[in-house]
Amino acid sequence: MRARWLALSFVLAMVIGIAHAQDRRIDFASLPLGHAIESIHGTGARRIAVFEDPYCPFYRRLERELQALDDVTVYVFLFPILTPQSRPMSDAIWCAPDRARAWQTWMIEGRAPDAARSCGTSPAADNLALAARLDIRITPTIVFADGTLVTGALPLDDLQAMLNGARP
């Protein structure tokens, strides 16, 4: 039943193509950032966390927007829920010598890491459990440093506004 609901949520989000601010907040300081891929842009002073599946078409669009941001650190929590290939790809990206580069190369260029391998240290299972505890079910889900939770891909202007403390 849960898998059916996740699939329906994903299809609905694809059809509608929206981002939605949630009424609840997540304590950013409680996130296990060591289980995320860290990507620093500029000084990295502002911070966001994103729960993401490597096969999410919305995140591919969002990743391009994130590349245009300055002074932000992005923490990507691999959240393999969309396809049977999501978990092996998550593991291969996590096990790559440069995780951030492997992630960006996959999401922007569509090139998989050189060797699809497992290093036995992927946090994918822990991230799935974390997402369940936080009631995160959709990719992408963005958590801003102030705890604001947004589901869906945001346009660059809205990302900037939210990183600066305003709601879009």
Report pTM. 0.84
Q: Is residue 168 part of a domain?
A: no
Q: Tell me the helix, strand and coil percentages in the chain, rounded to 5.
A: 40, 20, 40
Number of folded domains that form the chain: 1
Q: Which two tokens stand for residue 48?
A: 């966001």
Q: Is residue 50 part of a domain?
A: yes
Domain of 116, CATH number, reads: 3.40.30.10
Sheet of 37-41: strand order equals: 20-25, 148-151, 141-144, 46-52, 72-78, 37-41
Contact 40, 130 (CB under 8 A): no
Digits of tens for pLDDT over the chain (168 positions)? 444 544 444 444 443 344 555 567 899 999 999 999 999 999 999 999 999 999 999 888 888 888 888 899 999 999 999 999 999 999 999 999 999 999 999 999 999 997 656 687 889 999 999 999 999 999 999 999 999 999 888 888 988 999 988 665
